[in-house]
Structure 1
């Protein structure tokens, strides 16, 4: 049977308190906190987080959060990570005028209507609703054309799920997609030419990152690491495609493989 002190301790960790914030940041004045990481600490309620009026970057990922009402007062917030929680409404974020980057992958957002409240955030440029690297998504992502609907709802967006959809670089993404689709059509037809194995540009471990004592640098490393994992996954798929093309070409060039 769980003791009373253990229950009290669990309840304390489930809710953000001034004591928790002071112990984690070293700041006695909550308005002095600029960067805060509370990832995977069992949070259920946001408590006094709304008192951190100058908070710019906040990571609340991998918790059990359902309601965001306390975030409505954070007018200075630029980057917010709410991935892997139990959120079904983003309404309180409508007043976060400076928000630029939002990660809500792995929640319970069921329809595009759940994003209507973000329409007025003119500085919001990046949103993540799906993260294939960590197998995180939202019910609304079941519709294959959801990105187009998201862009129609929030015109200020330039990046959706890590992919640039408008502005500089978006044409390159589309070209890469077209090339990928073309390769899929040509595989098996003998139209793909392969010229040897592809070698990495840098040595193994070149991009490995080490933790620092700076919260903002750690968060930047985290975001870079996520992008790097996506690149590695794309590289793996490319290797598999090339290998399949090589096998197809070898079969077609082997006269013994034909049956008459």
Structure 2
């Protein structure tokens, strides 16, 4: 009965049709669609999506998709977002040989065995099963060492769950993980008891208590003399400017009083 109810719910979901694809992209031919965003459209059936033979970027997040069959025909697909759906089997994606980035956070992947179909994807660099910010995960993520198992299963991955595991930037993530693990070991109850190691000391401030207090301004005699000389120079400049203005005004008055040599009026 539960399976029948699920099938009825899927039948009630939206099916991808040529009309829906053309209306969403503005393209007249499905083969012309390269980028497609169908986030949160209530889609349950992928329908004719496999006819978009040249599709490279696809966002189907936030729908009710359980079956991925039509995606097997998308040989050019490079980026696929299936987060927040009902996907349990990723088998059709094994045919997407150009796939580089896959996000299936918030689905029903429960074991590593369900991911073995992706091991033939040589270009796959980013795989996300968990998204802490969006609070999305898969049942598989409950296993404590699933990330290490993923790294072993997919040695070509550069990012797992959004964190770099190889290449530029991976050292920072590894350092953070090492710090977390060391703090976790040292912060347990009874740490250091009976082991001969010293218990952690009370945290001490890095600087003295008066370090951040503003200090009274100090003005040396040299600075005072410099200020004085600068004031005198500024006063001289103002006096010279005033004299120059007076001289210019006198010259203008003298020139304006002369008769015009071009005038023939007697």
Partner of 1:174, secondary structure, is: helix
* Structure 2 alignment gaps of length 5 or more: 1-9, 189-198, 208-266
Counterpart for residue 28 of structure 2: 28
Given that residues 13 and 41 in structure 1 are in contact (C-alpha distance below 8 angstroms), is that contact kept between their aligned partners in structure 2? no
Q: Which digits, 9 at most, give the CA deviation of each residue in 1:99-133, with x for residues without a partner?
A: 00000000001100000000000000001001111
* Structure 1 alignment gaps of length 5 or more: 1-9, 197-260
Partner of 2:45, secondary structure, is: coil
Larger RCO: 1 or 2 (CA < 8 Å, sep 6+): 1
Counterpart for residue 135 of structure 1: 135
Alpha carbons of structure 1 residues 179 and 34: separation in structure 2 relative to 1, 3 Å: same
Counterpart for residue 166 of structure 1: 166
| Superposition map of 1:1-260 within 5 A | 14-183=14-183, 185=186, 189-190=200-201, 192=203, 195=206
Distance 1:193 1:99 in 2: 51
Displacement after TM superposition at 1:155 (Å): 1.8
Q: Which digits, 9 at most, give the CA deviation of each residue in 1:207-246, with x for residues without a partner?
A: xxxxxxxxxxxxxxxxxxxxxxxxxxxxxxxxxxxxxxxx
Given that residues 13 and 64 in structure 2 are in contact (C-alpha distance below 8 angstroms), is that contact kept between their aligned partners in structure 1? no
Distance 2:73 2:205 in 1: 57
Displacement after TM superposition at 1:166 (Å): 2.1
Q: How many residues align?
A: 187
TM-score by length of 1: 0.67
Larger Rg: 2
Given that residues 119 and 155 in structure 1 are in contact (C-alpha distance below 8 angstroms), is that contact kept between their aligned partners in structure 2? no
Alpha carbons of structure 1 residues 74 and 192: separation in structure 2 relative to 1, 3 Å: farther
